[in-house]
Structure 1
Amino acid sequence: MSKRVVLTVSGVIPADIREQIASGKRPRADYLELAQSFDADLLDYAAARTITGRTGAVLERFGGPNLLLAFACWKVRKRYQAIVTDGEQVGLPLATFLRLTPGRRPRHLMIVHVISEPKKMVFLDWLGVQSTIDRFITYSRWQQRFIEDRWKLSRDRVPWTPFMVDQEFFAPQRVAPSSGTRPQICAVGLERRDYETLLQAVEGLDVRVVIAAASPWSKRTEGVATRSVPNNVTVRKYSQYELRQLYLDSCFMVMPLENVNFQAGVTAILECLAMGKAVICSRVLGQTDVVVEGENGLYVPPADPSTLRTEIRRLLSCPEEADRLGANGRKLIECQMNLDLYVKRMTGFLGGAIGGEGP
C-alpha cells in the first residue's frame, strides 16, 4: 500500500548513511527521522531521475536538479495525501506545476529558508502559487512575518519552528578534550559569513583561531577571500565528526555574519550550543531566534571589528562567564531546539494540514 506522504531531499542520499549514523560517524539525518515519523517515502535527485526519464533529463539541463525534483513530485502527486518539500528551491516550482494542473491535489507543506529574494517572490507576487502551498514552515521569525505581511496569510498557514541539532551526537560527553595550553576560539561555515571582519578583530590577539570554512549546503567553495590571514588563524575544512572536537576544544565560537534576513549560520550555532559552548554572533535581522543576549551568548554589530575584538577579549578573560553561557546553551538545545522535538513539531504541522481545511 502506498504511503501517505512524500518528503523531498535536495541532494542524493548516501547509500551508507544508516551505517554511518549507527557507527557514530555522523549525526542523525533529519529527513530520515521525519520520514519515519511521517511514514513517508523519500524522494531525492537519484530517485527523481528514475521517475521522470527523458522529460526529467531535459528539465534538469534547463533548470537544474531542483526543478527535476519538483517535476518528479508532480508526477507522483496522485499517490499521496501530502508532499513536504525541503525548501523553496523545490517547493516554488512544484507549487507552479500544481497551480497549472486542474483537479484535486495533495496537501503541500513547504519548508522556507529565505523566500524574500526577488526571484522567489515572483512566484507568489505574479503567479499566485501560494494557493497551492498549504503551509509555509519557517525557521526564522523575520521570514514568518514577511510572508504573513506581504501575502496576507494567516498565522496558521505560516507556522514557525526553531531549527534543530542532533543533541545525541553533538553532546560534550561524546568527546574527550584535546590537550593544549593556548586558548582557542572557532568560527564555522560558509553561507554569508563575514570572515574579513573576524580576521581584523583577532589579528595580534593571544588566541588560536580556527575557521572551519566548509558547508555541505553552501554553493560557495571558499570561505575566506582575503589577501592575508593572520599568523594566529588556521583555515581548513572539517567533517561533522571533526567539528564536534573543534567545538569542545574551543572556549567559544564567533559567528560573523553579513547583514542577512534569514537564519544564516543556524546549524553551526546550534551545534556549538549543544556542545556547551557560548556564541558571539552578529546582530542581524535573520539571526535573532537562537542566541539570547547574556543568557547563552553575546551579540555584536555586523561589520564592526573593533567591538568584536573587545567582546572576544572580554569573554576570553572571563572563562566562568563563557562556561555559564555555554551551559545555558546546552539547556536550550535539550529543552527546545533538538532533533526529536523538531520531528514532533513537524509531524504536528503535517497532521494539521492533512486533517484541516484547504487555504
Structure 2
Amino acid sequence: MTRSELSRLAVVVSGSVPPDTRTRIDRGDNPRLDFTHLQSLGATIFTRDSAPEGRAFLRRTLGDRFAPAEAVAEAADRFDAIFCVAEDIGVPVALALRLRGKRTRLLVGVHGHYLINRKFRLWALAARYDAATRFLPLSEPIRARLIAEFGLPASRCHTLCVPIDTRFFAPEPEPEADPPMILSAGAAQRDYPTLIAVMKDVPARFRIASGSSWIGEATKLAVPETCTMGSAGSMPALRALYAAAAMVVLPLQDVVHASGYAVAMEAMAMGKALIVTRTGAPADFFRDGETCLLVPPGDPAALRSAILRLLENADLRARLGRAARHLMEERYGMERYTADLARLLTDVSRPPAQAQGPGHWVRRPRGG
C-alpha cells in the first residue's frame, strides 16, 4: 500500500489520543498501534478531538462519538474509504454519512462487544442492503455471528485482527529464577478468582499487572503472599515483566466477544508460553497445543494442571513460545496488517480524492 493510496483513507477512532503518542512511539516508549501505523503511512486520523460541537440531538443520542463521526462525514468527499476501528464508532459514522447523503465506502472493525446493542443491531440489519459497507471482525467466531445472527453476506465480512508491534514486543532469553515468575495482565473480563484459587498449589511467584479497578475487587479475595498485584506503570515496564516471566496465564470470563487479545498477542510476540481460557469468541491465533494451551472457563483444576505441566517442561514452554512468535511475525505484524487492509481497499472504484496532505491529524480548532 503506497502513501498516495493511504492519503485517501480516513481512519476513525472513538476516543481521544494523547498528543505525545507519536513522540513516545518514536523514542521507543510505546508500541505502534494500528491507527498510528496507518497515519505514518499517510492516512488521516479522526478522533474525539476532531470536530466542534455537533448537533445537540445527535450528541445526546450518540454521545461524544458523534464528534469524529460528524467530522469525517463532512470531509468524506476527500476520501475513497473510511475505516472505523471498532463498531462503537462505526454506527455514528454510518448515521452521519447517511444524514449528509454520502456514499463513501465504509469499513467497520467489529470486536463483538456491541453485537447485543440495540443501535448496532438496527444498523447492522439495515446495512445488509448497503453494498458500500464492509465488516471487519477480529476473529472467525465473531465473523460467524455476523453472518448467522444478522444475515450479513459472507462476501462483505472479512476477518482482520488488530496487529501487534513485533519490534517493540520481541523475545528475550528466559531468566533463571527460583521460584519462577508467572505473569497475568489486564482487567476487562478477567477471571482472576480462578487463578488465585490455584496459586497455593503452584511453586511459583505470581504477578498480576492490572489497574486499580481490579485491585479493589481483589481485596475481597484471599490472595496469597506469593502474588503481587498492581499496574505495570508503563509499556516498557510491562514489556520487562513479560521478559521476566516463565509463562503468561490469561484467565478469562466466558464471553462471546473479543477478550484478552491484546495481552495474548503481546505475550506471544515476546515468545512466551501462554495459557488462556477458551471463551465463546477465541482469537484465531489461539491454537491449542501449538501456540498456547487452552483451558475451560472457571475450572481451577484444569488451570492448575496446565500451569504445572508448563513449569515441569521447559522444552514445551520453548516450543509454544517459538511457534507463537513465528505466528505473530508471519500473520499479525504491522506489515501484514497493512497488506491485508490494502486488499480490502482494492474494490474502491471512485476516482482519487484530494486530501489535505498525508499523515495528518484532524483536530478541533481551539475555541471552536
Report the TM-score, using the length of structure 2 for normalisation: 0.85
* Structure 1 segments of 4+ aligned residues over 6 angstroms from their partners: 176-179
Aligned amino acid, residue 33 of structure 1:
H
> Within the alignment, does 1:235 sit opposite 2:246 as a pair?
no
- 1:284 and 1:106, CA in 2 relative to 1: closer, same or farther beyond 3 A? same
- Give the 5 Å matches for 1:336-351: 336-351=331-346
> Within the alignment, does 1:55 sit opposite 2:49 as a pair?
no
SS in 1 for 2:184: strand
Distance 1:317 1:232 in 2: 19
> Within the alignment, does 1:45 sit opposite 2:48 as a pair?
yes
**Is the CA contact (8 Å cut-off) linking 2:33 and 2:163 kept in structure 1?**
no
Match in the other structure for 1:225: 217
**Is the CA contact (8 Å cut-off) linking 1:259 and 1:302 kept in structure 2?**
yes
CA shift, 1:21, in A, is 1.5
Give 1:35's match in structure 2, choosing from 35, 39, 49. 39
- 1:151 and 1:194, CA in 2 relative to 1: closer, same or farther beyond 3 A? same
SS in 2 for 1:260: coil
Provide the identity percentage: 30
Match in the other structure for 1:123: 122
Consecutive unaligned residues of structure 1, counting only runs of 5 or more, are: 215-219
> Within the alignment, does 1:16 sit opposite 2:20 as a pair?
yes
Match in the other structure for 1:217: none
Aligned amino acid, residue 65 of structure 1:
D
Give 1:111's match in structure 2, choosing from 109, 112, 124. 109
Distance 1:253 1:168 in 2: 19
After TM superposition, the structure 1 stretch with the greater mean CA deviation from structure 2, 189-198 or 75-84, is: 75-84
Aligned amino acid, residue 72 of structure 1:
A
Match in the other structure for 1:151: 150
Aligned amino acid, residue 225 of structure 2:
N
Q: Deviations over 1:185-234 (max 9, x none)?
A: 111111211111111122342211111114xxxxx933662413221111
CA-based RMSD of the aligned residues comes to 2.6
- 1:120 and 1:190, CA in 2 relative to 1: closer, same or farther beyond 3 A? farther
CA shift, 1:29, in A, is 2.4
- 1:132 and 1:99, CA in 2 relative to 1: closer, same or farther beyond 3 A? farther
Count the aligned residue pairs: 343
**Is the CA contact (8 Å cut-off) linking 1:190 and 1:223 kept in structure 2?**
no
CA shift, 1:355, in A, is 6.5
Give 1:182's match in structure 2, choosing from 179, 182, 185. 179
SS in 2 for 1:203: helix
> Within the alignment, does 1:208 sit opposite 2:205 as a pair?
yes
Distance 2:98 2:258 in 1: 29
- 1:57 and 1:14, CA in 2 relative to 1: closer, same or farther beyond 3 A? farther
- Give the 5 Å matches for 1:328-343: 328-343=323-338
Aligned amino acid, residue 163 of structure 1:
V
Distance 1:128 1:15 in 2: 34
Give 2:273's match in structure 1, choosing from 268, 271, 278. 278
Distance 1:125 1:8 in 2: 18
CA shift, 1:178, in A, is 6.4
CA shift, 1:171, in A, is 0.5
CA shift, 1:129, in A, is 7.3
- 1:69 and 1:56, CA in 2 relative to 1: closer, same or farther beyond 3 A? farther
Aligned amino acid, residue 301 of structure 1:
P
Distance 1:124 1:157 in 2: 15
Distance 1:120 1:186 in 2: 38
- 1:231 and 1:6, CA in 2 relative to 1: closer, same or farther beyond 3 A? same
SS in 1 for 2:338: helix
**Is the CA contact (8 Å cut-off) linking 2:91 and 2:120 kept in structure 1?**
no
Match in the other structure for 2:356: none
Report the TM-score, using the length of structure 1 for normalisation: 0.87
**Is the CA contact (8 Å cut-off) linking 2:54 and 2:70 kept in structure 1?**
no
Distance 1:95 1:172 in 2: 41
After TM superposition, the structure 1 stretch with the greater mean CA deviation from structure 2, 108-117 or 60-69, is: 60-69
**Is the CA contact (8 Å cut-off) linking 2:80 and 2:104 kept in structure 1?**
yes
Higher relative contact order by CA 8 Å / sep ≥ 6: 1 or 2?
2
